[in-house]
Structure 1
Amino acid sequence: MTPDLAGRGVVVTGAGRGIGEAYAKAFAAAGARVVVNDLDADAVTAVATSLGDDVFAVPGDASSEEGVAALVASARDHLGEIDVYCANAGVARGGTEAVAERAWDVSWNVNVMAHVRAAKLLVPEWVERGSGTFVATVSAAGLLSIPGAAPYAVTKHAAYAFAEWLSMTYGDKGVRVHAVCPQGVRTDMLRNSGTSGRALMEADAVDPDDVARDLFLAMEQERFLVLPHPEVAQMYAHRASDPDRWLTGMRRLAGGLPGSVLGAD
């Protein structure tokens, strides 16, 4: 099923490739007017060009306070109103608590504060008019954690928590929130995740278009949690019901991996 998106104004960050590009394609096919954003200006411009006259490229930073403000202002110029904002841009930094401070800083800004900063600019208008949709591309790691990648695991937990908070705070005021939590997705992030990352996620990986399809189904059903890998729900329940057993299993999993997961720079 496809939600009624004809003529709606949509922003998708991290849309130069992967899940973001798939979101943009799906929204455009549904008749929405779409602003696509990415740090890679060439990639996001190519996506916009391929999707037609109602898709506009706005390259730039979607994480800093100034960058988010510029993106939202430009999107409003193109679209008038922003009806759906997909906070999809993300970074994957691996390593332990000892990883360089820059890895933590970048992870917090891109994976968490980009969402906070966008919501700060969008939510007041949405509450005033009684409608608006915030899509947070999180990760199954935000529900389950992931070995060998402390900055990624911690910030994805935070991104999920912020999406949950938005929903509980503004859900009765017309703001819909969706948290998208896939495991492996066939993107550059997975391909660049190293031997351990691929060992964890590659076998059951889905395509970006599958993630977009599941998001649209959740939007149609007004459902908060989007799980392209349905088995994550059972894992999440097990984690909550017996944390010690869960942690024992995660230690066993981590001990069997050949090295750290994701990049540590």
Structure 2
Amino acid sequence: MGQYVKTKKGRTFYIHETPGERGTIIGSHGLTGNHKQLHYFQEALSDYRFISYDILGRGNSDPAPKDSSIDTHAADLLDLIDTLKIEYPILLGYSMGAYISAIAASRLEGAEALILLDGAGKADEATRKLVLPSLDRLKKTFSSPDHYGQEAKKLYTTLGVDWGPHMEEVVRYEIKEDSGAWRNKSDSDTIARDFESFYTFQPEDVLAQIDCPVFLLTATGSLGDNGPLFKKEGYAQTKEAAGNIWTAVTSANHYELVFNRQPEIIGQLESFLSQKEVKS
């Protein structure tokens, strides 16, 4: 069920909640995404109450502030958790959402678990070279939703994403009409600023403050000829700093990880979560 939530600090988020009895997962999406990026994980982990949401500046949530960063988004996540009165949350983050979830977990008493899906490592210059050119699409306008959808299909299928009704829904959700044309709902300057804040992340400081079990999944699949988005070496400090960490690797690339079904990864997550009785 989708709904708008106004937090105690006055921010309005769009959330999508599905019911479950085994505890509450709150999922944070990637840099240019929205809550629909986590659809397959939300669908598969149906034993859990699962809340996905649009980070500020994405989807149907409020615009992001002019000083937004992974740090401010982590504060927003804690505000949302407090407003929804979630006790013992399981924080799940993909890409940028992993950075956000890790920072939030480091400040939160009573987190049940932290799940990091290809994020919360040290980004390098190769990451910057992969991401920044892709943000130009946020500045473009399109003649119709179909025109936008055609361009998105070319991009995603080149990256190995299976195209179907769900992806059609994803791309329709991320656009809006503006003066007779169509464009992405996200502001390119906001996205670029948030991306640059990845480089402020210090895993040795953040992960050392986290007491709950951590699951870290790295995606090694190449993005064209450029290798994976985040290099293996970038996760060394994350692994070393975390006190209780499970690690897993997938040959899927960064985008296949969320936009294609991943039954093997779901199985690994279920094993991780079942090792400890989740508080309700």
Which one has a larger percent strand, Structure 1 or Structure 2?
A: 2
Which one has a larger percent helix, Structure 1 or Structure 2?
A: 1
TM-score (norm 2): 0.41
